[in-house]
């Protein structure tokens, strides 16, 4: 959930064994980042987004390098799907979903192309906390942001016209995504505090749900992550980072061959 994380304490966990209501007794205050947008300090001493710029990070890593890259590649080859199925690992503040909606309403997004947005999150944030982040830029975005956080967990709902969301509360270690995924935003907390969420087994659990040429992007560019993805049939590309992060990772799923 961050390109450059503030990590004041290392808490190694086994599948995140935290109780429900974990945030009830924690006062999560907005943390300013260098692009003027806010983030939050997470439960393991890491910020949810880069302190170099929360919006800047998400836009660069997930929207430009992931979603728009996929769309452009499909349009150029004349095989754009009727709907775009996105999987986000780590819903967190909802910023990636909001920026996806913003992109959907821009001239760079193919017209009348709906989005199906599936996400899995172990510890949903309370609405009183997400309301303080002030990410939306317009009344329409404010309504969307409110809808995605108020929407019921465990069943699809319409967050906006052309944007269906499915929020699943759980651990990606135990989760089987729906089939037909085109884009993956892999935005879990870092391997430094949750190494089990970056293992080959986790990525192997996702790959059966991916379409050919699906694109996975993440802020993490560690060797173990690249090696795991290569072994599972991804073509790996190390891209320039943003802020204080030198590199990010894009992986294109080729199944047996491209």
- pLDDT confidence of 7, banded at 50, 70, 90? very low
The CATH number of the domain holding residue 107 is 3.40.50.150
185-236 residue pLDDT tens: 999 988 988 899 999 999 999 999 999 999 999 999 999 999 999 999 999 9
Q: Evaluate whether residue 17 is within a structural domain.
A: no
Residue 145 lies in a domain: yes
Residue 128: pLDDT band with limits 50, 70, 90: confident
In a domain, 41, yes or no: yes
Residues 59, 82: Cα–Cα separation, whole Å: 23
Q: Does any domain span residue 21?
A: no
Enter the tokens of residue 180: 């037909």
Q: Outline where DSSP puts E strands in 49-186.
A: 84-89, 115-121, 157-160, 163-169, 181-186
Number of structural domains found in the chain: 1
Residue 166 falls inside a structural domain? yes
Whether residue 3 is contained in a domain is answered as no
Mean pLDDT over residues 59-65, rounded?
97
If 0-12 CB within 10 Å is exposed, 13-18 middle and 19+ buried, where does residue 177 land?
buried
Name beta bridge partners: 169.
121
The boundaries of the domain holding residue 172 are 28-50+60-253
Query: Residue 39: inside a domain, yes or no?
Result: yes
Asked if the structure places residue 40 within a domain, the reply is yes
In this prediction, what percent of the chain has a pLDDT beyond 70?
88
Do the bridges between strand 38-40 and strand 30-32 make them parallel or antiparallel, or are there none, so unpaired?
A: antiparallel
pLDDT for res 1: 43
Percent of the chain past pLDDT 90, that is, above it, reads: 71
The C-alpha atoms of residue 146 and residue 63 are separated, in whole angstroms, by 21
Q: Model pTM greater than 0.85?
A: yes
Give me the pLDDT at residue 10, please.
40
Residue 195 structure tokens: 């190494």
């Amino acid at each position: 959930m961050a390109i450059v994380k503030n990590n004041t304490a290392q808490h190694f966990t086994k599948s995140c064994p935290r109780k429900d209501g974990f945030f009830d007794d924690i006062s999560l205050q907005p943390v300013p980042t260098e692009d003027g947008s806010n983030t939050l300090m997470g439960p393991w001493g890491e910020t949810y987004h880069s302190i170099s710029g929360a919006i800047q990070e998400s836009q660069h890593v997930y929207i430009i390098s992931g979603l728009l890259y996929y769309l452009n590649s499909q349009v150029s080859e004349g095989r754009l799907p009727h709907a775009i199925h996105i999987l986000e690992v780590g819903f967190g503040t909802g910023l990636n979903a909001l920026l996806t909606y913003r992109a959907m309403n821009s001239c760079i997004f193919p017209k009348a192309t709906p989005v199906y947005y599936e996400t899995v999150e172990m510890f949903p944030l309370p609405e009183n906390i997400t309301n303080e982040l002030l990410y939306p830029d317009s009344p329409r975005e404010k309504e969307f942001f409110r809808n995605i956080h108020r929407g019921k967990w465990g069943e699809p709902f319409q967050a906006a016209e052309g944007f269906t969301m499915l929020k699943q509360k759980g651990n990606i270690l135990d989760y089987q995504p729906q089939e037909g995924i085109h884009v993956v935003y892999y935005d879990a907390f870092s391997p430094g505090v949750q190494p089990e969420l970056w293992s080959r087994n986790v990525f192997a659990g996702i790959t059966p749900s991916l379409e050919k040429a699906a694109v996975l992007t993440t802020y993490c560019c560690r060797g173990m992550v690249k090696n795991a993805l290569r072994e599972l049939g991804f073509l790996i590309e190390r891209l320039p980072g943003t802020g204080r992060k030198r590199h990010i990772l894009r992986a294109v799923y080729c199944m047996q061959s491209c």
